[in-house]
Chain A
Amino acid sequence: MKLEAKPEVKAQQHVKTGADLLVEALIDEGVDTLFGYPGGAVLPVYDAIYRAKEAFTHILPRHEQGAVHAAEGYARISGRPGVVVGTSGPGATNLVTGIADAMMDSLPLVVFTGQVAKSVIGTDAFQESDVMGITTPITKHNYQIQNIEELPRIVKEAFHIASTGRPGPVVVDIPKDISSTVSEAKVETEFHLPGYQPNFKPNPLQINKLIDAISQAEKPVILAGSGVIHAEGSEELRKFACTHQIPVTNTLLGLGSFPGNDDLSLGMAGMHGRYAANMALYECDLLINIGARFDDRLTGNLKYFAPKAKVAHIDIDPAEIGKNVPTQIPIVADAKASLAELNRQNLTMKDHQEWLDLIQKNKDDYPLWHEQPEEKLVPQWLLQKVHEYTNGDAVVTTDVGQHQMWAAQYYTFNKPNRWVTSGGLGTMGYGFPAAIGAQLAKPEGTVVAIVGDGGFQMTMQELSILQERGLPVKIIIVNNEALGMVRQWQESFYEKRYSESLMGVQPDFIKLADSYNLKGYKIETQKQVEAILPDILANDEPAVVDCRVLQEENVYPMIAPGKGMHEMIGVRPT
């Protein structure tokens, strides 16, 4: 006999349990999408979700990691916190990678974990794990609810903390006795967080200093990070840069915050950034960092990072300023508010045409390049085609590895909120579930998951969700039968000793898709790309596209580990 959930069951005059209070609090926060997986410690929560069924779309992944990455993709594209539910013990530990990922990339998540009953916490009870201990270093904040009255207040605080200031993940651990007890006591809903008052407005004195510095500068450059996107400050950035003709480069996560096709755009900087971008950072006399954290994949060897520059840094998180790079003009504030303020100032700049000419010359002399053997499928070219066929307007998520860098380089992003990638933690397995979340956040949009054959196999069980929900996510497997990025490093730095990085044995991805009732395609040549990819991307249905690309392609140009911005290799064809 087939079991079915009873749709007609109504909440019969139910006294409120902790779980009901949780559901009410979620509805209060405007939550309509949940990513979660049930289990013993969250049975009461799932019962309350069942009773409030109309309120939520609940996405059931096939592994909790899928839930949390999907919630990250959802948060990135919707701008609202992704909400995750998991059970205690293994449920919670399966969420850890995604929580750490969200922490590194400043994504707002509110994660609810079940916990064993308070009376047995600390006894190594069945499925007990120290969620507070485990998640403390990887959360913006975490809570374990101690009594039912405080539940609504804590949920409010959690959403507030996750989504304001520098966004980040917040974990709320709920012991089972709390979610299942009924409470008649008056609940708390007001909150006050005296230790958490993120500064939003820029200090006028510091703005003046920056205006002063810009008016003196002969070689200014803006580095725009994802802080601009979180603050929704792209329009202000465009206005500022274009008015004063200041070139803009992006971090990996900042792509899209400034139109990639604008003349002032230098594209991505850093380890696999463009020559012109890195040289601009190396040569500039004024570096204006807006919402980027000077990550080591951006800076390379710090000794050679912007060595001649005065550094200004606008960041909502004061701890990022001066952490890696000494900063002369710190501005602790929201990126959009700061840019709007800068746009209000009177600013006359020195003539810096020479600087713009030099940058243009670098762009012309050292464009991105790749081999183009006839008939063979070259990954870089493939990514350009994906851009072309989606008018550069798709939401693109990636996994981690070579394909990620190629997507960053070749899928030129002209608008914000089109780009979802794991930058800080570099989490393989991220790309596909993140695309599911992105598609839920933008049901009408085209969402393309660019994944490696390695990373896809870490979370491909989530194909079930596409099947179940009919979500039209397009999965492009950049299949080089290798852990390509690892293989590249072994080629370059370990004399081609390909230790455990070649993956000759693979599933048949077409049959795999088929078994989930999804369409699968195999593409081996440029011609096939041109023949079938436009339709696949335009169709309103999911697709798994196995693209067999040249195995030996490498990501260039590159700053080798330990080297400086000015020491790029692979800037030109050999």
Chain B
Amino acid sequence: MKRIITATVQNRSGVLNRVTGLLSKRQFNIESISVGRTETEGVSKMTFVVDVSDEQKLEQLTKQLNKQIDVLKVSDITDKAIVARELAMVKVISNPQLRSEIQGIIEPFRSTIIDVSKDSMTVQVTGKSDKVDALIELLRPYGIKELARTGLTAFPRGNQPQVTDMKSYSLLK
């Protein structure tokens, strides 16, 4: 099962190494990691998408992360109401004739063209991972020259549904 885990960490040298090292040492499958600063000076936030086999493994993962001295807080936000975004840039083979066709495809995704050349164009898309996946699949037939994804970043919404009407749903399959 895929889970979204966030960790706030003290922004000290070596912390990224320590965290990724422990994940690989304990054989956790990391799909993506994104790291960046937060509203608090000296504190960074890491968002991991991981694939774990069962609850026990998941519990180990959060406990091992928590155990690190520079890790302040670990949350599994998969089943919360969250906002989650990923950014992808896709360089697609195109020519002037194809350009408007591709534009038609990317429009519903609120995706934008950020670079154009004689034989290619670069498209930027932001959204949940499944939206990004969907657009990439639609562009694939044209020929993807280059693709870069930032990995997911996420946090809980300001309003969390009451426990009673909270259905367990997942952003990720």
Contact = CB atoms under 8 A, between A and B. Distances in A.
B63 interface: yes
Nearest to A332: B63
Nearest to B17: A136
A195 B68 contact: yes
B145 interface: no
A193 B12 CA distance: 12
A394 B59 CA distance: 42
Interface stretch (B18-26, B110-118, B130-138): B18-26
Contacts of A323: 60
B64 interface: yes
Contacts of B14: 132, 136, 142, 144
Contacts of B72: 194-195
Interface of B: 9-10, 13-14, 17-18, 21-22, 25, 56, 59-60, 63-64, 66-72
Contacts, number: 45
Contacts of A144: 13-14
Q: Which are the 5 A-B pairs with shortest beta-carbon distances?
A: A319-B63, A141-B69, A195-B72, A196-B69, A319-B67
Contact of A136 (B9, B18, B64): B18
Contact of B69 (A133, A137, A140, A319): A140
Contact of B25 (A137, A194, A196): A137
Contacts of A132: 13-14, 17
Given A196-B69, A318-B63, A319-B67, A146 B21 contact: no
B159 to A, nearest CB: 27
A137 B19 CA distance: 10
Interface string A191-225: 00111100000000000000000000000000000
A143 to B, nearest CB: 8
B69 A161 contact: yes
15 contacts: A132-B13, A132-B14, A136-B17, A136-B21, A137-B22, A140-B69, A144-B13, A195-B69, A195-B70, A195-B72, A318-B67, A319-B66, A322-B56, A322-B59, A323-B60
A34 to B, nearest CB: 24
B130 to A, nearest CB: 32
A141 B25 CA distance: 16
A194 B10 CA distance: 9
A295 interface: no
A149 interface: no
A317 interface: yes
Contacts of B70: 141, 195
Contacts of B25: 137
Nearest to B60: A323
B69 A326 contact: no
A35 B172 CA distance: 53
Interface in A308-342: 317-319, 322-323, 326
Contacts of A194: 10, 72
Nearest to B62: A319
A171 to B, nearest CB: 11
Contact of B67 (A142, A146, A193, A317): A317
A509 B14 CA distance: 46
Contacts of A142: 14
A196 B59 CA distance: 19
A146 B10 contact: no
Given A195-B10, A195-B70, A326 B21 contact: no
B17 A133 contact: yes
Contacts of B66: 318-319
Contacts of B10: 194-195
Given A146-B13, A323-B60, 14 more contacts: A132-B13, A133-B17, A136-B17, A136-B21, A137-B21, A137-B22, A141-B70, A144-B13, A161-B69, A194-B10, A195-B9, A195-B70, A319-B63, A319-B64
Interface string A128-141: 00001100110011
Among A133, A140, A141, A319: residue with most chain B CB under 10 A: A319
A146 B14 CA distance: 12
A193 B17 contact: no
B109 to A, nearest CB: 39
A195 B60 contact: no
Nearest to B22: A137
B114 to A, nearest CB: 34
A158 to B, nearest CB: 10
A195 B22 contact: no
Contacts of B56: 322, 326
A161 to B, nearest CB: 6
A141 B60 CA distance: 19
A193 B22 CA distance: 20
Contacts of B64: 319
Contacts of A193: 69
B59 to A, nearest CB: 6
Contacts of A141: 68-70
B139 to A, nearest CB: 39
A323 B63 CA distance: 10
Contacts of B67: 317-319
Contacts of B71: 195
Nearest to B64: A319
A478 B106 CA distance: 76
Nearest to B71: A195
Contacts of B63: 318-319
Interface in A167-201: 193-196
A317 B68 CA distance: 11
Among A133, A136, A195, A322: residue with most chain B CB under 10 A: A195
A322 B63 CA distance: 10
A140 B18 CA distance: 10
